[in-house]
Amino acid sequence: MNNKIENASPDAKRELEIPKLILAGMPDYFIAREGKEAWKDDSHPVYLMMNLDTKCSCNCIKCALHGRKREPGPPLTTQERTAFLDQNTATLGLKELVIIGYGEPTEDFGKVEPLIREAHSQGMGTVIFSNLGFLTKEQAEFFRDHEVTLIVSLDAVDENTYNFLIDPNKRKGMDLNKVLKNLELLKETYRQNNKTINEQKVVRLGINTTVCKQNVDHLEEIKQLVGRDMMYIANPPMREGNLTQKDRWNILVGNQYDYLAKRAAEVSQTGGHSSLAEGSCSYFNRGLSVDSDGELLTCGYAVNTAHSIGNIKDNLSPQQLKNIYRKNREVFEKYRQETGDEQATCPLRSKNFEDYCRRIASAHSKRQKENPFNILE
Ligand code: SF4
Ligand code: SF4
C-alpha cells in the first residue's frame, strides 16, 4: 500500500484503493458490463420488483410491512410469478429481479427460491434484502450460485440498540450474535465469487442501514463490517407501515429527518439508495413493481399506488407493460419539474408524495375508474 493510501481515513482509503467496488445488479454494474449507451436506453424496464407473501416474525419499529395501509388480495401462485418472468423477461429486456418490500427471505425461503431459480434461468440476477435471521449454509450457497446480490439489513452492532429497534417483545429466534455469525458465513461463502470488470471489483453483498436517532452516531462502526467484499448503503426512514404511526416515527426520527438523510447520503458508498442513478432510485424509475397479489405499484413499498395502474392477473401484454413503465417515468419527470422537487430521489420520502400518487392515478385514469378503491385513504 502506498503512503497516500496508508495515511488516509477509512473512507478516503476506500476511494483511493483500486479496484473500485461496484455492487452487482446496480446501475454502475450494468454500465460497467454493457456500456453507458446501453444504460442510457431507458425505453424499457431494467428492474422487476416483486413483493412475495413472505412472512417475518420480527416487528421492527421501522417496518414497512407491518402496519401496511393495504391488505393485498390472495397472493399470486409461484407458477403465476414464474410464468410472468418467463413471458416477459426477454421481451421487456428485464435484467434484475428485486425482492425487498415484503417479509424475510431466509425465514420463508421456499417462497423466494423458485423465483430466484427462474430469474437465473432467464439470465437475470436477483437483489434481495435480508436480516439474515434464519440463514443456512445451503441458502448462502444457493444465493451465491444463482447470481443473488444480498443486502443485509443491519441497523446496529450493539445488542441494546439492536434489540430495541427490532422489538424484543415480538421477535422470535433473532439475536445479534447469530446475525453477525451468519454475516461471516455469507462473506465466506461469497468470497471466491467476486470478479473484476474494467478494473472495478464487482461484489454481491451489501449492508443497508436505516439511519435513525438511535444509530446515527454509530454508522462508522456498522460500516466497518463491510471491508472490501461488501458495499455499505444507508437510507433515511420512510413513513410507511409501522412508521405511519406518529409515536413510532417520533421514536426513530422526530424532527431530525433532514439530519438523518444528510448523514445517510454521506456514509452510503452509493451516495444514497442502493440503485441510485441520475438522481433517483432506479428500482422504480427504471422498473416495474408487482405486489404480492399482482397489483402493479410504482415500487414495492408504494402501496398507495395500488389499484390505479393494473394487475398482472389481467394478462397485460408486454407492450401494455412497457406503456405503463413509460407513463410512470413521464409522471415522475413532470412531478419533479412542476413541484420543484428536483432532488426527489425516492417519491415515498418526498413531502409531495400524495401529489405524486394523484398524478399516477390520473395518468392511469381508465383503470382507476374501473376500480373504486381510493388510493389515498
Ligand atoms: S426484518 Fe424486515 S420485514 Fe421483518 S419486521 Fe423487520 S423490517 Fe419488517
Ligand atoms: S422508490 Fe424509494 S421506497 Fe421505493 S424502492 Fe426506491 S428507495 Fe425504496
pLDDT digits (tens, 9 = 90+) for 80-126: 999 999 999 999 999 999 998 678 999 999 999 999 999 999 999 99
Give residue 283 CA to ligand 2 midpoint distance, Å: 7
Angstrom distance (rounded) from CA 305 to CA 229: 36
> For residue 332, what is its C-alpha cell?
415522475
Residues 6+ apart with CB under 8 A from 271: 265
The pLDDT, as a whole number, for residue 1 is 46
Measured by CA distance, the residue closest to atom 3 of ligand 1 is 103
Q: Whole-angstrom distance between the N-terminal and C-terminal Cα of the chain? A: 58
Strand 280-281 to 276-277 pairing: antiparallel
Say if ligand 2 is within 6 A of residue 346 CB: yes
Say if ligand 2 is within 6 A of residue 273 CB: yes
The pLDDT, as a whole number, for residue 4 is 56
Angstrom distance (rounded) from CA 203 to CA 228: 9
pLDDT at 8 over 70: no
Contact 90, 122 (CB under 8 A): yes
Give residue 255 CA to ligand 2 midpoint distance, Å: 21
Measured by CA distance, the residue closest to atom 8 of ligand 1 is 63
Contact 226, 23 (CB under 8 A): no
The pLDDT, as a whole number, for residue 146 is 97
Contact 310, 324 (CB under 8 A): yes
Angstrom distance (rounded) from CA 166 to CA 179: 12
369: confidence class by pLDDT, cuts 50, 70, 90: very low
pLDDT at 16 over 70: no
273 vs 6 pLDDT, higher one: 273
Q: What is the pLDDT of residues 320-344, one digit of tens each?
A: 999 999 999 999 999 998 888 766 7
Say if ligand 2 is within 6 A of residue 129 CB: no
Closest ligand 1 atom to 131 CA: 1
Give residue 51 CA to ligand 1 midpoint distance, Å: 13
The pLDDT, as a whole number, for residue 374 is 42
The pLDDT, as a whole number, for residue 92 is 97
pLDDT at 21 over 60: yes
Among residues of the chain, what percentage have pLDDT more than 70? 89
Taking domain 3-306, whether its CATH number is 3.40.50.10490 is answered by no
pLDDT at 2 over 60: no
The DSSP 8-state label assigned to residue 17 in this structure reads S
- Among 49-53, 69-73, 330-334, the least confident range: 69-73
Angstrom distance (rounded) from CA 309 to CA 326: 12
Please tell me the number of the ligand nearest to residue 104's CA.
Answer: 1
171: confidence class by pLDDT, cuts 50, 70, 90: low
The pLDDT, as a whole number, for residue 23 is 95
List the Cα angle 141/301/251 in 5-degree steps.
Answer: 100
Say if ligand 1 is within 6 A of residue 65 CB: yes
Out of 61, 99, 104, 106, give the residue to mutate to test ligand 1, the one with the largest number of ligand atoms within 8 Å of its CB: 104
Say if ligand 1 is within 6 A of residue 174 CB: no
68: confidence class by pLDDT, cuts 50, 70, 90: confident
Angstrom distance (rounded) from CA 176 to CA 371: 45
Measured by CA distance, the residue closest to atom 2 of ligand 2 is 346
Contact 32, 277 (CB under 8 A): no
The residue extents of the domains of the chain are 3-306
Say if ligand 2 is within 6 A of residue 353 CB: no
Out of 52, 54, 56, give the residue to mutate to test ligand 1, the one with the largest number of ligand atoms within 8 Å of its CB: 56
Out of 51, 54, 57, 58, give the residue to mutate to test ligand 1, the one with the largest number of ligand atoms within 8 Å of its CB: 58
Give residue 300 CA to ligand 2 midpoint distance, Å: 7
Average pLDDT for the chain: 89
Measured by CA distance, the residue closest to atom 7 of ligand 1 is 63
Out of 129, 208, 348, give the residue to mutate to test ligand 2, the one with the largest number of ligand atoms within 8 Å of its CB: 348
Angstrom distance (rounded) from CA 61 to CA 87: 38
Q: 190, 270, 186, 191: which is closest to 235 by C-alpha?
A: 270
Contact 360, 331 (CB under 8 A): yes
- Among 165-174, 207-216, 290-299, the least confident range: 165-174
Give residue 347 CA to ligand 2 midpoint distance, Å: 7
76: confidence class by pLDDT, cuts 50, 70, 90: very high
- Among 136-150, 190-204, 327-341, 348-362, the least confident range: 190-204
The pLDDT, as a whole number, for residue 5 is 53
Cα 168 to the chain's mean position, in Å?
25
pLDDT at 3 over 70: no
Residues 6+ apart with CB under 8 A from 119: 85, 89, 97, 125, 126, 146
Q: What are phi and psi of 103, to 5 degrees?
A: 80, -175
Q: 240, 332, 291, 312: which is closest to 99 by C-alpha?
A: 291
Answer left, alpha or beta for residue 132, where phi above 0 means left and psi between -120 and 50 means alpha: left
377: confidence class by pLDDT, cuts 50, 70, 90: very low
Angstrom distance (rounded) from CA 304 to CA 317: 24
Measured by CA distance, the residue closest to atom 6 of ligand 1 is 60
